[in-house]
Amino acid sequence: MIHSEKANKLIEIYMFVCDRFDKGLKNLCMRHSNNSNPRFTDEEVLAVHLFCGACEKRLRVKDKHTFAKEYLSDWFPLLPSYQTFNKRLNMLAGVLEELVKDILISFKPAYVDDVDSLVDSMPIVTCAGRNRTGKVAREITDKGRCATKNMYYYGLKLHMLGHRVKGSIPYPEMISITPASEYDGTVFKRDFAHALYNKNVFGDKIYKDKEFYTDLEHSQNLRMFTPCKAVKEEHLVIKQHEQAYRDLYSRAVSAVRQPVESFFNWLNEKTSIQRAHYVRSTDGLIVHVMGAIAIAFTYLIFNC
């Protein structure tokens, strides 16, 4: 059993999941078989996943199932075995993707900055090491390098464009998942830039492309601000003359974009999203990433 406060949270989360299913999520997991209406419903699978992750800090699927079996049996008497529960959860990978999109749109705070946005990426590691080769989810993963951690790894990158919130971490506006080797600047141009108008975007040096963003400034009123990069073969006199300005400008841009790093730190602290070493399938990896984001925002929405 769980105490009454946690029980109320469980009821709220379950009702939230049922409401989202009724509004369209159920169409993403329809079954055309003799088992089209399982006794343990998809809504219950997702409610257990979100509640155990957000309110009980159980981050691995096995730990969630163990907790539900020991403490939630009165609420979910038809809870299946761990193997079946894990298989059922992996079948909801597409549902979790849509649920995350729905949450980010539905719960966007009124106080976010719609003009200034921050962009960055973080690694999702299935295995680490320069000479190691990943064997999991090869359809969506490959080898990359995280310069911040000076680490070679196999896995994914989570790219996030977020509304700036002064004095707090940014609120996600767009999210994209790519193989680890994809260049951050290319992903921004391909997945984010075309949908942005009348925006100031603050990013790292890796997003710098003067010619590309000059064109977007004229066509979409989109401006990209990044710290200054060293100019190859620049004359020493010019370099010394411009150094003070460049340092001040770079520090100002870095100060504005720093909260996006805090967002990733917060997300990882709440969900351990970066550690995907125990994942064993493509659907499992998508559930790990999207499920972690959904759990983090469930934690905020229901004040777990």
Which pLDDT score is estimated for 130?
66
pTM of the model: 0.91
Which pLDDT score is estimated for 4?
86
Which pLDDT score is estimated for 146?
86
Quick check: is 60 in a domain? yes
Is 79 in the same domain as 218?
no
Quick check: is 206 in a domain? yes
Which pLDDT score is estimated for 231?
66
Is 209 in the same domain as 132?
yes
The two structure tokens encoding residue 94: 């597409």
Contact 80, 35 (CB under 8 A): no
Mean pLDDT per 10-residue segment, the chain (304 residues): 88 96 86 74 96 94 96 94 95 94 92 93 87 79 86 93 92 95 94 94 91 90 89 65 81 93 95 92 95 95 87
Residues 6+ apart with CB under 8 A from 118: 161, 162, 164, 170, 201, 202, 203, 256, 257, 259, 260
Amino acid present at 273: I
Is 75 in the same domain as 171?
no
The residues that bridge with 236 in the sheet, in sequence order, are none
The two structure tokens encoding residue 189: 């141009």
Which pLDDT score is estimated for 234?
62
Which pLDDT score is estimated for 235?
62
Quick check: is 293 in a domain? no
Residues 6+ apart with CB under 8 A from 292: 53, 59, 267, 271, 272, 273
Is 191 in the same domain as 269?
yes
Quick check: is 62 in a domain? yes
* Strand ranges (E), 137-282: 142-146, 151-164, 171-179, 199-202, 222-225
